[in-house]
């Protein structure tokens, strides 16, 4: 029979002879950048999976994102995110849970903007690890950079569903495996983000899994909320900046050093001002509406869930 690789997202049992794609990529975190990690792509749903089980404890101890602090730039991109949430129906009276909130910077921002019912949960954060938060149901759940980090991604979606009231909103931001070429893993080292990203979903897999749970797609963005039209604040420029250093994500949280001269080039200025129009589309941001109470009892009943989703390229 040969070795089989079962996709934990779509359930397909893939054999080596069935067109599987394999790759090895280094970590984009400086401390572990000499380590290589094995990946494979499901031939059916096109999602990308980490091949080996790893104790992630030591890796998260030195996670660069722990150094992130509130700044005017972060407030600016959070403003873009808030605009997307408002278009999805979020009001200042709404309750919202940032699931996997880390140090709680988004929660802090939302509360500063008058969203007093914003809460956060993160099992790995001492401040936000209170399980009592999960005993409530919310009008909106934000799951940014969550489902790619867990070993059982479908279970995460079911957890999300239980934390949102009927007819509520679930927002998921995650890399899109369909935009990642495993034949050139170094080019996509930051989206692959090894060893932290255990399962990178394809768009088709995410939409199918959400549909199976009865969620209706409201809006779909093909670029991250961090990709703005503000000069210097877009994905293409950030990637160029990281490459000017040692191409690790650590550089994003450090002062500008001796690599400054490398940025004094026409191509850099072009990316700084116009890079948002050339986003690599390696991130997706989906807004779903869960079943309202009157539809929850009848999975086959048609109605508002049949309206077509909106797709957005930019905030």
The band of 125, judged by pLDDT with boundaries at 50, 70 and 90, is confident
- Mean pLDDT along residues 22-28: 97
Average pLDDT, rounded, for the chain: 90
Please determine, for residue 16, whether its predicted confidence score (pLDDT) is greater than 90: no
The confidence score (pLDDT) of residue 261 equals 56
pTM of the predicted model as reported, rounded to 2 decimal places: 0.89
Residue 169 is predicted with a pLDDT of: 98
What's the full length of the chain, in residues?
A: 315
Residue with the bigger pLDDT between 170 and 265: it is 170
238 pLDDT higher than 90: yes
Segment 278-289 shows an average pLDDT of 97
58 or 293, higher pLDDT = 58
Confidence at residue 302, expressed as pLDDT on a 0 to 100 scale = 38
- Residue 138 predicted with pLDDT over 60: yes
Q: How confident is the model at residue 299 (pLDDT cuts 50, 70, 90)?
A: very low
pLDDT-based confidence at residue 266 (cuts at 50, 70, 90)? confident
pLDDT recorded at residue 301: 39
Give the torsion through C-alpha atoms of 109, 286, 101, 66, to 10 deg: -90
pLDDT at residue 247 is higher than 80: yes
Mean pLDDT value of segment 152-178: 97
pLDDT in tens, 286-296: 999 999 864 54
pLDDT, residue 221, reads: 97
Q: What would the mean pLDDT of 263-291 be, rounded to a whole number?
A: 92
Could you give the dihedral angle defined by the CA atoms of residues 225, 79, 120 and 118, in that order, rounded to the nearest 10 degrees? -140
Give the other-Cβ count within 10 Å of 44's Cβ. 18
Least confidently predicted of 77-91, 113-127, 243-257, 288-302 = 288-302
**Cα atoms found within 13 Å of the Cα of residue 74, Cβ hemisphere only:** 15
Name the residue among 159, 162, 145, 142 with its Cα closest to residue 97. 142
């Amino acid at each position: 029979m040969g070795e089989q690789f079962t996709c934990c997202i779509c359930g397909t049992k893939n054999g080596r002879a069935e067109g599987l794609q394999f790759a090895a990529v280094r970590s984009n975190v400086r401390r572990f950048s000499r380590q290589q990690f094995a990946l494979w792509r499901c031939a059916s749903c096109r999602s990308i999976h980490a091949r080996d089980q790893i104790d992630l404890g030591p890796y998260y101890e030195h996670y660069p994102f722990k150094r992130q602090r509130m700044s005017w730039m972060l407030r600016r991109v959070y403003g873009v995110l808030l605009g997307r949430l408002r278009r999805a129906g979020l009001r200042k009276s709404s309750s919202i849970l940032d699931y996997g909130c880390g140090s709680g910077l988004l929660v802090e921002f939302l509360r500063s903007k008058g969203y007093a019912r914003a809460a956060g949960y993160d099992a790995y954060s001492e401040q936000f690890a209170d399980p009592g938060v999960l005993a409530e149901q919310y009008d909106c759940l934000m799951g940014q950079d969550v489902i790619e980090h867990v070993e059982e991604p479908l279970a995460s979606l079911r957890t999300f569903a239980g934390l949102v009231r009927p007819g509520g909103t679930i927002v998921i931001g995650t890399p899109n495996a369909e935009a990642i070429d495993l034949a050139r893993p170094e080019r996509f080292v930051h989206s692959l983000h090894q060893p932290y990203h255990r399962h990178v979903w394809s768009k088709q897999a995410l939409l199918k899994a959400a549909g199976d749970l009865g969620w209706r797609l409201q809006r779909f963005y093909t670029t991250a909320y961090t990709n703005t039209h503000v000069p210097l604040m877009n994905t293409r420029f950030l990637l160029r900046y990281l490459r000017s250093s040692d191409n690790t994500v650590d550089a994003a949280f450090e002062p500008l050093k001796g690599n400054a001269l490398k940025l004094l080039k026409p191509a850099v200025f072009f990316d700084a001002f116009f890079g948002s129009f050339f986003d690599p589309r390696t991130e997706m941001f989906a807004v779903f509406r869960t079943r309202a109470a009157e539809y929850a009892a009848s999975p086959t009943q048609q109605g508002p869930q049949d309206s077509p989703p909106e797709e957005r390229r930019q905030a």
